[in-house]
Structures are given as structure tokens and as C-alpha cells.
Amino acid sequence: ATATAPHRERTRRLRENLQASGDMSGRVLRVLECFKDEGLDLPLFLWALSWNPEFPELVSGGKARYARTALTHSIELPEILWRWNRPLRRHCVEVRTRAAHPIFESMASEIVKGTINAEMEKLAPALQSPQEDLSEESLLEFNWNDTASEIRAVAPMTWALLRSAAYTSRQEK
């Protein structure tokens, strides 16, 4: 989505208006009170809104679709997710809230494994060689630069992870 998409523009205007009003906290607290009045809390609200097949009217309904699109394409989403992963410390306590870090770590692991498996399947033909092609001469003529270029092109996440594991930040410079 572009920065000028309607949902992004709407969120930008709403955010500017709320910041100008100086009442962001009060409004959020009133919305949370509305949740309570409706017998909802934030987890149930997001669970129902997030493409839950138990609620087809929320999956296909225009208002719900617009709300999801506004969130998933928002400039704010990365910041929201980072904060849920590692929230700020409370001023009165030195201990950081545990938050959703274990969940994010597990999800990230599953996503990366799935991506690497898919990339390795695409890369497999380039890494296979018929037995009769394996000779001392062919192994000595093997071009590592061509292979590295192909891995970078076909399996960018796999390449990035292997590169990150092999090089320190100082070596990268």
C-alpha cells in the first residue's frame, strides 16, 4: 500500500487530530470502557476481528475489512509489534514486562523455517549434480561466485541467515 492509500491517510489525519487534542489517553481509556460495557476485552476483540471463520460477517464485512486493512498496512504496525515484543520498562520497576516475546520468537522461527524450506526447494536443482559429473576436474572448476549469486537470487533469506551467521558486524564493514 502506498503512503497515500485512503486507510493510511485516514489514520494519519486521526492521529494528528488526537495528538492536537491532547486527549489520546482519555479516548483510549473510554474505548476500553466500551469494550467492558460490551463484554469484550482487547484479546477477544482482536481474535474476532482477525479473519476468524466463526464470524463470517467480520471476515467479509466492509467495516471489518477496512479496519484490518488500516491496521495491517499502517505505518504504526511495525512500532506496535516491536512494543508488544519488547515493551518499555515501567518507571517504578526495573523489571521489563514479559509481553509477547516468546510468542513472537516462536512465530518468527516458524515463518523463517517455512521460508527457508521453500527457498531450499527452489534452490535444490542448482545444488544437485549427476554422479558422472563429479570428477576432480569438475570440482576444481566449480565457480563459487556463480553459486553464491544464484543462492542470493533464489534464496535471499537463506543467504542472509548464512551470511549473518558467518560474519560479525565488524567483518561486514
Q: Which three cell numbers stand for residue 163?
A: 551470511
Evaluate whether residue 33 is within a structural domain: yes
Q: How many domains, the chain? A: 2
Evaluate whether residue 136 is within a structural domain: yes
**Taking residues 65-72, what's their average pLDDT?**
95
The residues, ordered by sequence, that sit 6+ positions from 68 with a Cβ below 8 Å of its Cβ are 49, 50, 51
User: Do 48 and 12 belong together in one domain?
Assistant: yes
The whole-number pLDDT of residue 92 equals 63
Q: What are the CB-based long-range contacts (under 8 Å, 24+) for 12-16?
A: 12/75, 15/76
Of the three residues 74, 89, 115, the one that is the final residue of a domain is: 74
Could you tell me the CA-to-CA distances from 166 to 18, 54, 171 in Å, in that order? Answer: 47, 46, 9
**Taking residues 125-137, what's their average pLDDT?**
80
User: Do 106 and 165 belong together in one domain?
Assistant: yes
Of the three residues 74, 93, 119, the one that is the final residue of a domain is: 74
Whether pLDDT at 31 is above 70: yes
* Residue range(s) defining the domain that contains residue 161: 101-172
Whether pLDDT at 105 is above 60: yes
User: Do 106 and 167 belong together in one domain?
Assistant: yes
User: Do 69 and 13 belong together in one domain?
Assistant: yes
User: Do 57 and 106 belong together in one domain?
Assistant: no
Evaluate whether residue 153 is within a structural domain: yes
The whole-number pLDDT of residue 98 equals 75
User: Do 70 and 111 belong together in one domain?
Assistant: no
State pLDDT tens for residues 142-168: 788 888 899 999 999 999 999 999 988
Evaluate whether residue 88 is within a structural domain: no
Of the three residues 25, 56, 74, the one that is the final residue of a domain is: 74
Q: Which helix (H) or strand (E) holds 136?
A: helix 136-140
The whole-number pLDDT of residue 126 equals 82
DSSP conformation class of 87: P
User: Do 111 and 70 belong together in one domain?
Assistant: no
User: Which residue's entry shows cell 515463518?
Assistant: 111
Confidence of residue 96 (pLDDT cuts 50, 70, 90): low
Mean pLDDT of the chain: 89
Confidence of residue 53 (pLDDT cuts 50, 70, 90): very high
Evaluate whether residue 57 is within a structural domain: yes
